[in-house]
Amino acid sequence: MIEVSHLTKIYGNDSVKTVALKDVSFEIKKGEFVAIMGPSGSGKSTLMHLLGALDIASSGSYFLDEKDVSQLTDDELSEIRNKKIGFVFQVFNLLPRATALKNVSLPLAYAGVNKRERIKRAKKALISVGLADKFENRPNQLSGGEIQRVAIARALVTNPSVILADEPTGNLDTKSGDEVMKLIEDLNKKGHTIIVVTHDPEIAKYAKRIINLKDGEVVVGGF
């Protein structure tokens, strides 16, 4: 379902070049739970940006559901992100002034779903992460673990092809971190494809396969 081949990302101009990702190739099948690991500077953030359709590659190809998304325009990337990718960020990234329900329904608004349907689906997603009683709470009325669960509900609500979690427990205490990882594990058991980007081996243990990055190259676990 995800097919990355010879993916390379170079930052900077001709005089100052930084190769962030060098000729990376791997495949992730539907329903897999993969961790992308590596120390800082290993290129895992760059890889996550490319997998998340937040950025385009310098060369190589990235097929997501049989569609090459390595070289698309801004608006085309927006649409891919909206329909096929669910993000869970380390720093949560919820709209601070909006309720949980509104935060979760935001991707649906950009997908053009009507309001009644949006609310219905957002409620369903919040219930599935165990926040049935927090629909109208704003982020400042929620705990860290709850906020990250709202973010997971938001990632789920569009029923994406892949859920991309970037250090999802990085800002959480151990207990709520475990809860969040269990929730992600549950989602994988229900059939969702999950990619977790992390430097923490404890987190990577939840995954069924690990892709190790070092200096922009895949070390173990690729093809």
Partner 1 sequence: MGRWWWVDFEETFSTSFEALTLNKTRTVLAVLGIVVGIAAVIALMTLGKGSQKAVASQIESLGSNLLTVMPGAQMAEGIRGQVGSMTTLTYEDAKAITNSSRITSVEAVSAELDRRAQVVAGRNNTNTRVTGVMAPYAQIRKIEMESGNFISQNDLDSQAKVAVLGPQVVTDLFSEGADAVGESIRINKLAFRVIGVTKAKGGTGFFSQDDIIFIPLTTAQKQVFGQDYVGSISLAAKTEKLMDQARNEVGYFLLARHKISDPAQADFSISSQEDIISTMTQVTSTFTALLSGIAAISLLVGGIGIMNIMLVSVIERTREIGLRKALGAKKKDIILQFLTESVILTAAGGLLGVIFGTLISLFLVRMISVPWVFSSPSYFLAFGVSAVIGIVFGFYPAYKASNLSPIEGLRYE
Binding interface with partner 1 (CB under 8 A): 49, 52, 54-55, 74-75, 78-79, 81-83, 87, 89, 93, 95, 97, 106-107, 109-113, 115, 154, 158
CB of 122 to partner 1, least distance (A): 13
CB of 71 to partner 1, least distance (A): 16
CB of 221 to partner 1, least distance (A): 25
Cβ closest to partner 1, residue 109 vs residue 219: 109
Cβ closest to partner 1, residue 119 vs residue 219: 119
Cβ closest to partner 1, residue 8 vs residue 78: 78
Cβ closest to partner 1, residue 97 vs residue 182: 97
Residues 1/29, Cβ–Cβ less than 8 Å? yes
CB of 87 to partner 1, least distance (A): 6
Whole-number Å distance between alpha carbons of 10 and 114: 41
Cβ closest to partner 1, residue 95 vs residue 127: 95
CB of 149 to partner 1, least distance (A): 17
